Amino acid sequence: MATCATCSGELSPEWRFCVFCGTAVTPTAVDDAAAEAPARVNSIAIIALILAFVGGIPAIAFGHIALGQIKKTHERGRIIAIIATALGYAWLAVGIVLLLRFANGL
């Protein structure tokens, strides 16, 4: 609960000024609450994670795009993007190993 800086009376969030002493309410408390609210998760990171369960190269591409966007926008989802990219590379490694096995077998 926010309190008035002048009279320490309890303030309702919607009040523009203190009803007890008439002091204008600084909107600091409300702004802090908004700043603490979690930022949205980067949607490209989520797409990259979904792609990571389907195949390799698209997940790597989307993972890197997501990491670039998160760096700029400070959105959430950096861990998701890293996991998606790592899974993408794991898929790629498995693909290369299988390809080499086939190539040797022929």
Query: What is the smallest separation between the CB atom of 1 and Zn ion, expressed in angstroms?
Result: 13
Q: What tokens appear for 68 in the block?
A: 């670039």
Q: Examine residue 95 and tell whether it contacts Zn ion (CB under 5 A).
A: no
DSSP states along 37-89:
SPPPBPHHHHHHHHHHTT-SHHHHHHHHHHHHHHHHH--B-HHHHHHHHHHHH
Does residue number 84 form part of the binding site for Zn ion (CB under 5 A)? no
Q: Residue 7 CB, nearest distance to Zn ion (Å)?
A: 3
Residue 48 as a binder of Zn ion (CB under 5 A): the answer is: no
Q: Which is nearer to Zn ion, 7 or 90 (CB)?
A: 7
Distance CA 103, CA 89 (A): 21
- 57 part of the interface to Zn ion, by CB under 5 A: no
Q: Would you state the structure tokens that stand for residue 102, as one six-digit string?
A: 């086939």
Stretch 5-34 residues interacting with Zn ion (CB under 5 A) = 6-7, 9, 18, 20-21, 23
Q: Are 26 and 51 in contact (CB under 8 A)?
A: no
**Which residues of the shown chain bind Zn ion in the complex (CB under 5 A)?**
4, 6-7, 9, 18, 20-21, 23
